[in-house]
Amino acid sequence: NAGVMQNPRHLVRRRGQEARLRCSPMKGHSHVYWYRQLPEEGLKFMVYLQKENIIDESGMPKERFSAEFPKEGPSILRIQQVVRGDSAAYFCASSPALAGGKNIQYFGAGTRLSVL
């Protein structure tokens, strides 16, 4: 039973390039969350998606960042024209449908983005 899969594990980009981070949720999970962790800090919520829908993007920077979770395939976090301040660990989590309760989020191993 595979867990949350993120790739790549490490991504190096030069300033101005685009970064694409992928996340495949656990089998049977329909909810995906993206979090960012800056060095020596906790994880900060970015965006919450269900299949083909963005439910909450209140944590996403207004520019350059976008996310999608298509009907088929993984969820993608896209960062355009990266800057050095985008260097961080990006974690994806998934959970099953909420069904009125609180559901545990299961995390992937993260993608470490380094912007040169």
d(CA 51, CA 38): 27
Encoded one letter per residue, x for contact with other proteins by CB under 8 A and - for no contact, window 87-116 reads ----x-x-x--x---xxxxxxxxx------
DSSP summary character for residue 48: E
Interacting span for other proteins (CB under 8 A) from 13-21, 37-45, 65-73, 74-82: 37-45
Min separation Cβ 25 and other proteins, Å: 13
Of 48 and 69, nearer to other proteins (C-beta) is 48
Rg for the chain, CA atoms, rounded? 14
Of 41 and 63, nearer to other proteins (C-beta) is 41
Point out which residues pair with 107 in neighbouring strands: 93
d(CA 75, CA 89): 16
Encoded one letter per residue, x for contact with other proteins by CB under 8 A and - for no contact, window 43-82 reads xxx--x------xx--x-----------------------
d(CA 47, CA 53): 11
Query: Which residues touch 13 (CB under 8 Å, ≥6 apart)?
Result: 19, 82, 113, 114, 115, 116
Under the rule (CB under 8 A), what is the footprint of other proteins?
A: 4, 6, 31, 33, 35, 41-45, 48, 55-56, 59, 91, 93, 95, 98, 102-110
